[in-house]
Chains A and B, each alone.
Chain A
């Protein structure tokens, strides 16, 4: 990789051993992909590791060394959600003891992030690109983000450029202020390897469509035809929410970091089918294919007919628009059933800054009346607790389903279940 004199100095150790190893890691990483150079970041990094897990000693050790050396990121960064919120997601004493084992160094870790350049204590969310949070890249910006759902959103919906950067590597890029130029940072790397022909009778559930695409193309880039007939050609708040949830499913059920939707996502609008590689493979998705995908999900509950103990909505974090929509959905369902409150502990997770804005609206009071709670946590981290993993948890998130024992149900089924309380 071609380095500037300044970059070479860092690599040669002129600025200390810790920066030398940091630069060496980025350079060897770039060399693996024949990156031509390092490019400056146009926006802050987003960190995937937001949890103080005692087992993660290597990361803590590196961060401590950097703090001792007075090193921090050039731009204030954001990070994934925090793991615990006992006020809105209560835990038994035993569960709390287990959380202490899992996330026992949370406070120390958050303190380190603050010293290393974290934006503020509200900047813990997987959806850092929400306007309310403010880490919102522009079209063409070069970035180094981790968090698979944020990466695929930034690349696809915003037209920014980031690879699926690993934990630690994104932090190193933030420290150096640069990242190797390869993959999704190049025009060639953003071309589609797959054409997805959507031939369904109605708009598919985003979680299932994303799952089908992710499983088929794995890490390749899909170009989706046929979705604009249902979604239109403008990125309205509702369309962005759809693409957010679809993208998270592509990234977790496979390893998709970028997709194009014909005549909708920004690069598709600009370049159209020029984005498709010659000899791209074709995957036709119809109603039967989506049904096949849904039926393939294993149900990992011990008792398949158990009463749900808890329901999680908002993985990735729900937007302001989605919080309002869910409020209306639960109100209508409860009115129809003649009940005042939901009968299953139901939690919608969202970004702290979005929750703060939502609390200023009448919708917040209305949602609280339904018995539904809002929390800033990551539901996946909740499910990482082996005691919680044994509980019958339902979710409308395909990402949460993929990484945990939570059972996937669609939006309407989830609403029915939490209102009436059982299958």
Chain B
């Protein structure tokens, strides 16, 4: 069992399997399919991200370094939250980019949807967490990795 302490941007509790991307999460590229299909298709469409490409992002516990790419990101996170196909949690090794922060705040305030978000978990978090590994997040921003 390995524990990491981050900042709870949107606090909450969740436990499930990690979906890990070593590369930055490009929100526009990843959700393009969801936008085009109006939420019917939830597979990641970012062809530049081999860790996530064609994987189902709905309900995922995303373990990522940071958000990269288009400044539409916050608006799109709000939109997938309104569609009900948002990730359960976003766990950042770095300080979350303003685009990600905007998105989870917009989802919380305007869509009453909490995407549990913890940032600043450190590089070792992303080095340690394995694809599919059970992770647990608690209200105070503690993330536990189970063997």
Residues of A that sit less than 8 Å from B by CB:
21, 24-25, 28-29, 32-33, 48-49, 53-59, 62, 101-102, 146-148, 151, 163-170, 183, 218-219, 252, 254-255, 298, 300, 384, 386, 402-403, 405
How many A-B pairs have beta carbons closer than 8 Å: the answer is 123
Q: Are B48 and A164 in contact (CB under 8 A)?
A: no
Q: Are B75 and A49 in contact (CB under 8 A)?
A: yes
Residues of A within 8 A of B34 (CB): 55
A344 to chain B, nearest CB (A): 24
A55, A59, A146: most-surrounded residue (chain B CB, <10 A): A55
B46 to chain A, nearest CB (A): 10
Taking residues whose C-beta sits less than 8 angstroms from the other chain, chain B's interface range is 35 or more
Q: Are A25 and B109 in contact (CB under 8 A)?
A: yes
Q: Are A166 and B110 in contact (CB under 8 A)?
A: no
A62 to B66 Cα, complex, angstroms: 27
B24 to chain A, nearest CB (A): 7
Q: Are A55 and B69 in contact (CB under 8 A)?
A: no
A54 to B82 Cα, complex, angstroms: 13
A165 with B98, Cβ < 8 A, contacts A55-B35, A55-B79 known = yes
A95 to chain B, nearest CB (A): 13
Q: Are B66 and A151 in contact (CB under 8 A)?
A: no
Residues of B within 8 A of A25 (CB): 105-106, 109-110
Residues of A within 8 A of B102 (CB): 29, 165-166, 168-169
A165 to B105 Cα, complex, angstroms: 13
Q: Are B38 and A166 in contact (CB under 8 A)?
A: no
Chain A residue at minimum C-beta to C-beta distance from B73:
A166
A255 with B110, Cβ < 8 A, contacts A164-B99, A168-B102 known = no
Chain B residue at minimum C-beta to C-beta distance from A98:
B36
> Apart from A55-B35, A55-B39, A218-B68, what are 11 other A-B pairs with CB-CB below 8 Å?
A29-B98, A32-B9, A55-B79, A56-B79, A58-B79, A58-B111, A59-B75, A59-B78, A168-B75, A255-B67, A402-B69
Interface of B is mostly: helix
Q: Are B101 and A402 in contact (CB under 8 A)?
A: no
Residues of B within 8 A of A252 (CB): 69-70
B32 within 8 A of A: yes
B103 within 8 A of A: yes
A298 to B29 Cα, complex, angstroms: 15
Q: Are A255 and B66 in contact (CB under 8 A)?
A: yes
Q: Are A48 and B71 in contact (CB under 8 A)?
A: yes
Residues of A within 8 A of B39 (CB): 55
Q: Are A33 and B98 in contact (CB under 8 A)?
A: yes
Q: Are A28 and B83 in contact (CB under 8 A)?
A: no
Contact for A58 among B35, B38, B48, B82, CB less than 8 A:
B82
Chain A residue at minimum C-beta to C-beta distance from B78:
A58
Residues of B within 8 A of A58 (CB): 75, 78-79, 81-82, 106, 110-111
Residues of B within 8 A of A102 (CB): 36
Chain A residue at minimum C-beta to C-beta distance from B27:
A166
